[in-house]
Structure 1
Amino acid sequence: MNDEKTKTPANENVVIDGDAAPEAPPAAAPAEEASADRLRELEAQLAEFKDQYLRAHAEMENIRRRAEQEISNKSKFAVQDFAKSLLSVADNLERALMAVPPEARENDEPTKNLVVGGELTRGELLAVFDRFGVKSVEAEGKLFDPNLHQAMMEMDNPSVTAGTVLQVMQDGYVLHGRLLRPAMVTVAKGGPKPGAESPANGKAVDETA
């Protein structure tokens, strides 16, 4: 009898020795966790850099605005000292015109011509003031404002609100809103207080009566 080789059927399961080592678990989990940590770290750094950029940008904008404001102020107020020195010229010209008697203005031709010339000069001076931002302070008929007016005296006048400017003794001026010189004024006293109103008709009440 011929020897036949023992063959394992193709569909027969192969039994693995029980002492063989089990398969190792996948090592991808630790790597993924490290990547997630790194991503969070980078996102935190990005947020910090963005915040620093926004702060720096805001600071640069503030510096730019301050620089522009300083340049603008230097341009606006460069003539401040010169304008102050011209105020006395305007005052003297005003006094000279007011000193001319009304009859001389009307009847004396040379005096009349002199007054006309003085008024033209005064008008040109005020036009120059206006062109450079120098404006007179409103005072007469206004309530006294310590930021713009200087009270030289008080006068009894119960017919107007207390603190009303009755007379301007010397004009005040501002340069682009900045006070150059306060207006010297006479202020009313003895009248109703500012804001005091009658309940019946809403008119000011004379509390001194």
Structure 2
Amino acid sequence: MTQTDNQTPEQTTEQQTETAGETDALTQNLSRAQAEIAELKDRLLRTAAEGENLRKRLEREKEDAAKYASGKFAKDILTVADNLRRALDTAPKDAVENDPVHGLIAGVEATERELIGVFERHGIQRIDPKGQRFDPNLHQAMFEIEDPTQPSGTVIQVVAAGYVQHGRLLRAAMVGVSKGGPQPEIQPGNTVNTQA
């Protein structure tokens, strides 16, 4: 006879209850382990997503830093471009080829062209809004001019050209704006990032 055969019915019931209790405990442990695994998977997925978002954000910031690195220097050099333009605007227009002033004017024009080429290589574009509708995102009104022939709010004089770099405003164009003329039609304007 085996030991199981020698057990009384009370001992068998006790053993079955003990086995059932162990099964319940194992089931509870399994459920807790599965819940913990699910929570850890969720944390892992969230961490991976946060890591990917961080990587993308850092990549964008790196691209922006490279794109706008010359912005501070460009702001400082804009006055050079302004002065070259002023020199050309005040130069005599009727200088003949043999006149010494003609060579000077040609040199200043070549210097201005080269500077504009450097600006273009760095994504810097000049804003010359004469005849356009005043846009406070791109223009700074310095004064108003009474001109009934122009629609009110039209840029009729540019004191200093503005500049944008890759769509971001470096310097607003300083302008004179008409007043007193007919009211202009409202037109959608350009969208420019005004953050510096």
Q: What TM-score does the superposition give when structure 1 sets the normalisation length?
A: 0.71
Query: Distance in 2 between the 1:119 and 1:148 partners?
Result: 26
Q: Which residues of structure 2 form unaligned runs of 5+? A: 1-7, 188-196
State the secondary structure of the residue aligned to 2:141.
strand
The Cα offsets for residues 152-190 of structure 1, whole Å up to 9 and x where unpaired, read as 111234454432212211111122333222111011223
Matches within 5 A, 1:1-209: 22=9, 24-25=12-13, 27=16, 28-104=19-95, 106=96, 109-190=99-180, 191-195=182-186
Query: Distance in 1 between the 2:26 and 2:128 partners?
Result: 74
The Cα offsets for residues 132-159 of structure 1, whole Å up to 9 and x where unpaired, read as 1221124223222222211011123445
Query: Distance in 2 between the 1:79 and 1:107 partners?
Result: 38
- Bigger drift between 24-33 and 162-171 goes to 24-33
Runs of 4+ in 1 over 6 A off after TM superposition: none
State the secondary structure of the residue aligned to 2:94.
helix
Q: Which residues of structure 1 form unaligned runs of 5+? A: 1-20, 197-209
Query: Distance in 2 between the 1:108 and 1:98 partners?
Result: 20
Identity %: 45
Q: What is the Cα deviation at residue 130 of structure 1? A: 0.8
Q: What is the Cα deviation at residue 108 of structure 1? A: 5.8
Instruction: Confirm or deny: 8 A CA contact 2:128 2:158 kept in the other structure.
Output: no
Instruction: Confirm or deny: 8 A CA contact 1:80 1:175 kept in the other structure.
Output: yes
State the secondary structure of the residue aligned to 1:145.
coil
1:22–1:82 distance in 2 versus 1, CA, 3 Å:
closer
Measured on the aligned residues, the alpha-carbon RMSD in Å equals 2.7
State the secondary structure of the residue aligned to 1:162.
coil
Query: Distance in 2 between the 1:40 and 1:138 partners?
Result: 71
1:138–1:34 distance in 2 versus 1, CA, 3 Å:
farther
Instruction: Confirm or deny: 8 A CA contact 1:165 1:185 kept in the other structure.
Output: yes
- Bigger drift between 67-76 and 86-95 goes to 67-76
Which protein is richer in helix relative to its size? 2
Query: Distance in 1 between the 2:30 and 2:151 partners?
Result: 74
* Amino acid paired to 1:150: Q
Instruction: Confirm or deny: 8 A CA contact 1:160 1:192 kept in the other structure.
Output: no
* Amino acid paired to 1:118: V
Q: What TM-score does the superposition give when structure 2 sets the normalisation length?
A: 0.75
- Bigger drift between 22-31 and 138-147 goes to 22-31
Query: Distance in 2 between the 1:108 and 1:171 partners?
Result: 32
* Amino acid paired to 2:29: R
